[in-house]
Structure 1
Amino acid sequence: MNQLEALKKMTTVVVDSGDIEFIAKFIPEDATTNPTLILQAMFLKHYQKLIDESIHYAKKIGGDYKNKIVNATDKIAVSLGIKILNFISGKVSIEVDSRLSFNKELCIEKAYKLINMFEEEGFDRSRILIKLAATWEGIKAAEELEKDNIRCNLTLLFSFVQAQACAEAGVYLISPFVGRIYDWHNKITPLRTYSYEKDPGVMSVHRIYNYYKENGYSTIVMGASFRIKEQILGLAGCDRLTISPILLSKLQSSTDIVERKLFDIKNKFNPTSIKVTESDFRWLHNQDIMAVEKLSEGIRQFGYDQIKLEKMVADKF
């Protein structure tokens, strides 16, 4: 048994890619996308047709030029999601434009638009996860969407208070970014000898996972953004792990033993009745310099890649 097969016995493995070839190769239950992965996929020859089809769709819908570009890029994301759904049995994550991350109402509006586009193609909303940045506004948008059976994946999660607020809002799933946390800390204090117990990204997920299980929260923890295989193995037993094709291949090529690192402690306590307020959230998140920097950086980068995708579409209009 290789490490990937062993890991799948204790954790749901998700492919972090927009490339159908990789998804077909690893046969995951779920898959995740983001603006960066979609942009990368659109440079592949076999996806060029998606751009043309999306432009045709946008022109048919009508509206002014700006709306046509937005409708075309939304269609690209949905069409790619549909292609992925045809290869998996579970859910695909589709991201809301990160430029909307500080507007609850616009996040909700975009989420409904994307869900409706999937449903128009015959796919039930139960198979879609709407990805939102874990800002206060994004979390509150997810809280409203979950009430209408629209499952949400709160991404760009770096601070513990983000995880607390997500659990209290009843969101379906969170994606703590292990690799980006590691990058920030390792730049300041490099690890001379790597061990997962000293990896701040891995330890962040351990803390969140144990807190959720001990307090009976149902929100799924899905570690994301891995740099090395050892980070993944340090989270064996986590609810889900979304992994890039490169690291999936490394796991697949090794037969070293995989040991469970996280254990589900069932409902030891009831969730606390003390809720994180908006001012609590902003203050506590603001105290974590790494989280502040990485959240804003992540929102900017996803926004830049969305703009690049829009330009790619505009150049073909």
Structure 2
Amino acid sequence: MKCPQVNLLAHLRSKTQVDLDTFDIDAARELGGCIDCTSNQYEYYTELAKSSRNELLDKSIKLAASIHGQFLSVTFNELAVEIAAVYLAMEIVPMVDGNMHIMANPRYSYSKQRIIETGKRLHHLCKVIQPSFNTSRLVMKVPATWEGLQACRELTQCNIKVLATTLFTMEQAVLAGEVGCVSISPFVHELKALFDEHYEDSNPRLDVCLQAQRWYTQQSLATKVKACATVGVDELLQLAGIDALTIVPDDLRELKSIYRSEIEVNELSLFKAVSLPEGKLAYPSYIDDEAKYRMDFDHAEDGKAQFKLCQAITIFCDYQNKAECLVQAAHAGNA
């Protein structure tokens, strides 16, 4: 008897929440059916660099000029990029049912106070740009440094939703759950592997995704796991059963175009009951123990996790700078 074939995208959606990883409005229109939409500095730069976005960029610059006096702790260019990110998000809001994710300026990854200010400012900007938008659907992505996660602790107390990004280890995942992040984004691969075709990450951390989800369940924490930075369709199928997957448009298109044996795709999943290790996970509390956290995180993966975190923040900072340069050039051209 021939084994039934299943569409890979439909199969994934039957097992896990599928989120859209882009602020490209055309891709959002094409790839309907996603729940949340996520973004980062790469998205802001690539969108604002398009000639079709000149009007949105000019609009962002004009609004930044009119309200910069309220936010003098940030530069004009930085404020304009944040405003542009909110404008881009508001375009996609009607196309998803869930939350919109906007990433904090990665230059503030090690500043608790600046991240707190950013979360409050993004909520204010949403109300200025689209007063009808329900800000309970806004999630700010925060790099999972000690300072960033402590900022998440305070932002959560202000009813501002946060996601811990650039996450590579269980130490980060444990602290993110303790501070009340609504979700985490474990990076399966080093971020560089997604931007440099000649660079190979030979140690994908699929295990962190599984362990984090098990940990949150065991601890009765509401934090969800949104895996990201995967490479190839098979890794996505391996993660079928995770709380959510953030998937780039090209991978969504590929999943939509492929049919495979139902038995084959089910066997790929790491969430099969027989494959999950038994017993309770054991991790210490980090929320009030900075020294313990830093020591354990610094030793994770023999120091490689610290390298991966710094590398990811550096890449995002580069795109933040590029986006601000676009603002500066456009602003000078309009003067």
Fold similarity call, TM over 0.5: yes
Question: What is the alpha-carbon root mean square deviation over aligned residues?
Answer: 2.6
TM-score (norm 2): 0.84
| 1:155 match: secondary structure | strand
Residue 322 of structure 2 is matched in structure 1 by: 308
- Post-superposition offset of 1:173: 0.4
Q: Percent identity among equivalent residues?
A: 28
Deviations 1:158-200 (A, max 9, x none): 111000111111210000001228959xx7995xxxxxxxx64
Unaligned runs of 5+ in 1: 191-198
Residues 1:234 and 2:238 aligned together: yes
* Runs of 5+ consecutive residues of structure 2 not aligned to the other structure: 1-5
1:34 equivalent among 30, 37, 40 = 40
316 and 274 in structure 1: CA distance in 2 versus 1, 3 angstrom threshold:
closer
1:263: how far off? Answer: 6.8
Task: Within 5 Å, give how 1:13-92 maps onto structure 2.
Answer: 13-27=18-32, 28-63=34-69, 67-92=75-100
Secondary structure, counterpart of 2:165 in structure 1: strand
TM-score normalised to structure 1 length: 0.89
Deviations 1:88-124 (A, max 9, x none): 1211110000111111111000110001111232212
Question: 2: CA distance between counterparts of 1:36 and 1:67?
Answer: 19
Residue-by-residue CA offset, 1:222-255 (whole Å, 9 max, x unaligned): 0001111111111101000001111111111111
1:161-200 mapped onto 2 (5 Å cutoff): 161-180=171-190, 190=202, 200=204
One-letter amino acid matched to 1:217: L
The equivalent residue for 1:291 is: 305
Residue 129, structure 1, aligned to residue 139, structure 2: yes
> What is aligned with 1:10?
15
Residues 78, 181 of structure 1: alpha-carbon distance in 2 compared, 3 angstrom cutoff: closer
Q: Secondary structure at the match of 2:142?
A: strand
Partner of 1:142: 152
Q: 1:33 to 1:140 in 2, by over 3 A?
A: same
Separation in 2 of the partners of 1:35 and 1:275? Answer: 29
Q: Which amino acid aligns with 2:309?
A: L
For 2:201 and 2:36, how far apart are their aligned partners in 1? 35
2:3 is aligned to none
Residue equivalent to 1:195: none
The equivalent of 1:246 in structure 2 is 250
Q: Residues 204 and 181 of structure 1: is their aligned pair in 2 closer, same or farther, counting only changes over 3 Å?
A: farther
Separation of aligned partners in 2, 1:214 and 1:300: 34
Indicate if the aligned counterparts of 2:191 and 2:312 stay in contact, CA closer than 8 A: no
Which residue is equivalent to 1:194? none
Instruction: Tell me how far apart the structure 1 counterparts of residues 47 and 38 of structure 2 sit (CA, whole Å).
Output: 13
Tell me how many residue pairs correspond in the alignment: 306
- Find the aligned partners of 2:85 and 2:145 in 1 and give their Cα distance: 22
Query: Alignment partner for residue 95 of structure 1, among 95, 103, 106?
Result: 103
Whether the 8 Å contact between 1:182 and 1:200 is mirrored in structure 2 is no
Tell me, what secondary structure is at the counterpart of 1:5?
Answer: helix
Instruction: Judge conservation of contact 2:286–2:293 (CA < 8 Å) in 1.
Output: no
